[in-house]
Structure 1
Amino acid sequence: NSLPQLEKVNISEDGTKLKMETQNPKKLINTRRLRVGVIGMPNVGKSTLVNAMINKQVMATSTRIDTTVKNSLGILTDGEVQIEFEDSPGIFNKSKSKRFHGKIKGKDFPSSCFAESDLCMVVVDLSMKRTTNGFLDPEVLVELIKHRHIPSILVINKIDKVKNRSKIYPLIPQLTGGFVNGVDCRPQSNKVPAKPIELPPVKAEFLYRNEEKMLRQMRSCRGWPYFKDVFVISALRGWETDRLRNYLNREAKNGNWNYPCDSVTTESSYDIIRDIVRSALLDNLPYEIPYHTEVVISEWRKKDNGLLDLQFDLVCQKYAHARLMNQNMTTILYSAKTRIETLLNCETELVLVPYLK
């Protein structure tokens, strides 16, 4: 039951990029590449899955929703194949987003995630009631309809949270509308015709103008009958992730790589470390405090002995928030420092200073 060991990365000389150690990389001729857009509802484990796929902890994760606030790219280079994973925030619609901090977050990011993708990876959470009832979320179905020209696969995540795993596989015919890659996957004893999804015109203006109407219609639909394949995994534990990675390797097409072989992400190390600090706040502070706190870097210095000296200002909106941070600072510091050192493979001196805005 131990967690998989993630590879460590090094920080570039100027401190702005993360990279893998490579020794005299060979010049490859027949290179292949694949860009994968990762979408799903909030807190289904998209960032954890991307980390598992590239085997590096570059995407910030926490137990709270809205940890990922913008699209981020993780890069896996394996032999002649380079796979780009575009992680996206959880999908919100207007009515749901009003419940979270009064802001609409992540509404446009999933659509932009599809822009350059060769394959869409839809992630669902087995611990969520709608999934265990055999329904995809209507927001996910609407995104799939809007981008139906892009092949998609279904990733059923968090099997480690399910005690009775015999109930998992009967869900697949429901979540896929009874078809996977055009093949009927329904049990012989249950060949009742599934309610078909009515595909509206492909015109973009029609889709976006009628999105709320489409959401209402999708609530009665169970699954998407156009998935190319289905994978049942635990991204956190690393269960069955190799099978998914091998599938993506086979799906890669001939083409030049977009990034050097030692690249692990396009995000700057500043942004990655800031997101790690923010995720530590999310895991260790109650209520809405982390969502109303701005994390600002005030010092970033790599000493001659290799020690990375970091200081972040935590800009709070209320005095009570700053006081609660100080009370929990030991736990927050330990959580953030451990994650940073695990990622960067170097000792750090981390200082977090709460400020009142």
Structure 2
Amino acid sequence: MTEKIEDFRSGYVAVIGRPNVGKSTLINALVGEKVSITSKKPQTTRDRIMGVLTTEDAQYIFVDTPGFQTKHSSELLDRMNKSVKSSLSDVDAVVMVIESTGWRPEDEEVLKLLPHDAKNVILAINKTDEVKESEVILPLIQESMKKFAFADVVPVSAEKNHQLDVLLQVIRKFLPEGDKLFEDDIYTDKSPRFLAAEIIREKAFRLLGDELPYGVAVMIDKWEENDQGARIFATLIVNRESHKGIVIGEKGSKLREISRLAREDISAMLGKKVYLEVWVRVRKGWGDDAAVLKSLGYE
């Protein structure tokens, strides 16, 4: 029987912010495992990703949300924004992330999602390694407190693991006393199939950069696994025929590299040898097709 730890706390923490502000990088750094994909392009996170961190005195269950945005409209983006709003309900704490370079209009839009009387919202000022803290951060903290009554403001660098321990201690104050909700070795609620698809999508974003249109998704078609290894067959879905050539590359070079990089990460995740085969298929307008979105897991 597990010994009950006095004053142990556990609870849910929503992490919100505009696209490309560093939410996924922050959660990955806090959890110590890769639970959400990252890239320089905004809108890489499309689904609520749950990451779990268990320490000696607390269990933090982080919900990474898609970056809330209002510039473009589609069925997919509508569902992503709805996901952000629903993440704010039934959580014990909210961490809003902005960059150390200051507030933007997109940050203000995210701020509007928060109830004015919320007492559990912490502001994390990320990417402090990119500025001189003494000159920039203090004025930014003062400006931020005028915009919203944040429970606390913590300057951090997710990339450099700076002050993440401080952020955790601040969050812990808002978690209710209670037992662990997950076993110690659990770090995400997502299945290996989901994480594999996300890894493939991340490699596509990272490798193709600005060439890659946002109309791309990954579907795992077949998954065979035993103690020795895994055989995975996946489809990378694009919106247009012209996009297919971009993803495949000259003589298949781009697709081979996406597959190679993804295979390495999936193998590390599963702890076994992986055979990965990725195909590219065109499904026009999939981002506005409710049936296709549902089949891809976007509820």
- Does TM, normalized by the shorter one, top 0.5? yes
Larger Rg: 1
Residue-by-residue CA offset, 1:27-61 (whole Å, 9 max, x unaligned): 43544212211111111011111111111111111
Seq. identity, %: 28
Equivalent-residue separation in structure 2 for 1:256 and 1:304 (angstroms)? 33
Q: Which residue, out of 280, 285, 295, partners 2:203?
A: 280
Could you report, residue by residue, the CA deviation over 1:109-129 in whole angstroms, capped at 9, with x for unpaired residues? 2221111111110100224x6
Q: Which residue type is aligned with residue 157 of structure 1? A: N
Aligned to 1:244: 167
Matched, 1:296 2:222: no
Q: Which residue of 2 aligns with 1:200?
A: none
Q: Does the aligned pair in 1 maintain the 2:20–2:43 contact within 8 Å? A: yes
Residues 1:54 and 1:304: Cα distance change in structure 2 (over 3 Å): closer
Measure the CA separation in 1 of the matches of 2:173 and 2:133. Answer: 32
> Take 1:238 and 1:269, find their aligned partners in 2: how far apart are those partners?
26
Counterpart code for 1:97? H
| C-alpha contact (below 8 Å) 1:303/1:309 kept by paired residues | no
For residue 253 of structure 1, give the secondary structure of its aligned residue in structure 2: coil
Deviation at 1:164, TM superposition (A): 6.9
Structure 1 346/165 Cα, relative in aligned 2: closer, same or farther at 3 Å?
farther
Structure 1 residue 334 displacement after superposition: 3.6
The alpha-carbon deviation at position 264 of structure 1 amounts to 1.2
Q: Distance in 1 between matches of 2:258 and 2:122?
A: 37
- C-alpha spacing 1:304/1:105, structure 2 compared with 1 (3 Å): closer
1:223-266: CA deviation from partner (whole Å, max 9, x where unpaired):
21x11111111112211112212333344321233322322111
When residues 29 and 241 of structure 1 are mapped into structure 2, their CA distance, relative to the original with a 3 A threshold, is closer
Residues 1:27 and 1:169: Cα distance change in structure 2 (over 3 Å):
same
Q: Residues 76 and 103 (structure 1 numbering): CA distance in 2 closer, same or farther, change over 3 Å?
A: closer
Alignment of 1:204-353 (within 5 A): 223-224=147-148, 226-287=149-210, 289-305=212-228, 307-327=229-249, 328-353=254-279
Q: Deviations over 1:46-77 (max 9, x none)?
A: 11111111111111112111111122211111
How far off its partner does 1:163 sit? 5.6
Q: Which secondary structure state, in structure 1, belongs to the residue aligned with residue 234 of structure 2?
A: strand
Aligned to 2:112: 142
Distance (whole Å) between structure 2 residues aligned to residue 279 and residue 168 of structure 1: 31
Q: What SS does the aligned partner of 1:107 have?
A: helix
Match of 1:180 in 2: none
The runs of 5 or more residues in structure 1 that have no matched partner are 1-24, 178-222
Of 39, 43, 50, the residue aligned with 2:16 is 39
Give the TM-score normalised by structure 1. Answer: 0.70
- Counterpart residue number, 1:166: 135
Count of residue pairs the alignment pairs up = 278
Q: Which moved more, 1:159-168 or 1:233-242?
A: 159-168
The answer to whether the Cα contact below 8 Å between 2:93 and 2:120 also exists between their aligned partners in 1 is: yes
Q: Give 1 or 2: higher helix fraction.
A: 2
Q: Secondary structure at the match of 2:78?
A: coil
Paired residue type of 2:234: F
Partner in structure 2 of residue 87 of structure 1:
64
* Matched position secondary structure for 1:43: coil
- Per the alignment, do residues 159 and 86 of structure 1 end up closer, same or farther by CA in structure 2, a change over 3 Å counting? same
1:88 Cα offset (Å): 0.8
CA 1:353/1:280 → structure 2, altered by over 3 Å: closer, same or farther?
same
Cα distance in structure 1, aligned partners of 2:257 and 2:78: 30
Unpaired runs of 5+ in structure 2?
Answer: 284-299
Q: Which residue of the partner structure matches residue 290 of structure 2? A: none
Question: Conserved in 1, the CA contact under 8 Å of 2:35 and 2:50?
Answer: no
Q: CA RMSD in A?
A: 2.6
Question: Residue 97 of structure 1 is aligned with which of 72, 84, 91?
Answer: 72
Supply the AA of the counterpart residue of 2:97: V
2:97, 2:78 → 1: CA distance? Answer: 21
Residue in 2 that maps onto 1:151: 120
